[in-house]
Amino acid sequence: MSPGATPSRAESLVMTRDGSVLCLRMYGTWTQATPGRPTPAVVRAEFAHHDRVPDAMWFDLKGVTQYDSALISFLLQCHDICIETKTKFELESLPEGPRQLLRLATSVPQAEDVHARVQAMNLFARIGTHSMNAAKDTFEVLQFLGDCTQALFKFISFRARFRWADVLLEIQHCGADALPIITLIAFLMGLILAYVGAVTLRPYGGLIFVANLVGLAMVREMGVMMTGVIMSGRTGASFAAQLGTMKVSEEIAALRTMGLSPIEYLVLPRMIALFVMFPLLTVYANFVGMAGGLVVAMSMGLSHAQYLHQLTGAVDLNHFSIGIIKSFFFGLIVAATGCLRGMQCGNSSAAVGLATTSAVVSGITCLVVADAIFAIIFNQLHM
């Protein structure tokens, strides 16, 4: 359209040139639902159609009757075109509403490509970065373990500052509230072990030794290990979520402000609760697992008297004590990993979820490593 021509109101975008200024006159409805809405491609075509790039881009929105984000998106892309062609974008020619939205959209500079920057790091830089992060994590773990050890010594000398009501509450949460899931998993584990033993031993006429397999496996390994996995996924994750939420809401910072140690006031009660309840849950899981093996043995023709007689002959105090010894350490491991991840939590809700996930993964990994170490030690001691 030539300069000075009157545009048709059926058109939603009319571009005219007034000397070195490109004027964009817009009419009608500019919404996401408007069909046939002009795109920034027509503006680029206008730039390509003329040899000379305009010095400025000016807007007239008096004819726009309704608009939403579609108009703002169009204006923002026109702004990008002006940046590419070094054309002045006449922001002040816009009405107050679109002008404020454009100013807000263009006020924050575009972030650098972090991924490209990371990929551009050479091998030595990546090794150095990972080494520094590993050293930092190791220092935080050692510092946390040192603070926990100090808190335990204060507890032994009756100088630790915490509330016994918190300990009793955590004991209920870690103990009585965990019984249903412990019962289900331990019973099914006993069933599984009994079925595996029956399939293996029946061809050799050794069905009676299913009791030996179930009893020894439960008291030495499976009872304490399955309890540890369950408590890590249930209680360890709960500890991490609780402490992480406290850190996000700055409750931990408030405790430090009041002169209270978060390790003594928050972590120590949880460690005491799991240290006390974990062995009891392990003993309970052992007996429930043996009961599951009894159900399978009786379904295959053994009497309960035969099963119990064989079981008492196979499982002695030496085997039984192995699982109990492990349980004390496993309780401390689950409590420590859960509380550590909670104390390391960031200051956002997403960080709480990451801390919870990390607590479960770290707890189960540490349990498996500790169980392998105990297996080597007990083997060397011929236990």
Asked if residue 214 lies in contact with residue 188, where contact means CB atoms within 8 angstroms, the answer is: no
Q: What global pTM score does this model have?
A: 0.67
CA–CA separation, 380 vs 378, rounded Å? 5
- For residue 120, tell me if it sits in a domain: no
230: CB partners within 8 A, 6+ apart:
178, 181, 182, 185
State the amino acid at position 282 in one-letter form.
T
Strand partners, 21: 18, 56
Say yes or no: 219 and 296 in one domain. yes
Domain that holds residue 94: 13-107
CA–CA separation, 310 vs 101, rounded Å? 81
CA–CA separation, 327 vs 285, rounded Å? 12
Greatest CA separation for the chain: 108
CA–CA separation, 255 vs 148, rounded Å? 17
pLDDT at 111: 54
- pLDDT, tens digit only, all 383 positions of the chain: 434 443 433 468 888 887 788 888 888 888 888 787 788 888 888 777 777 778 888 888 888 888 888 888 888 888 888 888 888 888 777 888 888 888 887 775 555 554 455 456 678 888 888 899 889 888 988 999 999 999 989 889 888 888 899 899 999 998 889 999 999 999 999 999 999 988 888 888 788 888 899 999 999 999 999 999 999 999 999 999 999 999 888 888 888 888 888 999 999 999 999 999 999 999 999 999 999 999 988 888 888 888 898 888 888 888 889 999 999 999 999 999 999 999 988 888 888 989 999 999 999 999 999 999 999 998 888 87
CA–CA separation, 327 vs 100, rounded Å? 64
pLDDT at 69: 83
CA–CA separation, 367 vs 375, rounded Å? 12
Say yes or no: 299 and 197 in one domain. yes
pLDDT at 273: 93
Say yes or no: 34 and 150 in one domain. no
Q: How many CB atoms lie within 10 A of CB 17?
A: 15
Say yes or no: 144 and 284 in one domain. yes
354: CB partners within 8 A, 6+ apart:
345, 346
- For residue 116, tell me if it sits in a domain: no
- Domain final residue pick, 62, 90, 107: 107
Q: Cα torsion at 44, 45, 48, 52 (round to 10°)?
A: -80
What is the total count of domains within the chain? 2
- For residue 322, tell me if it sits in a domain: yes
For residue 20, what is the domain's CATH number? 3.30.750.24
Among residues 273, 271, 281, 283, which one has the least CA distance to residue 180? 281
- For residue 128, tell me if it sits in a domain: no
pLDDT at 6: 38
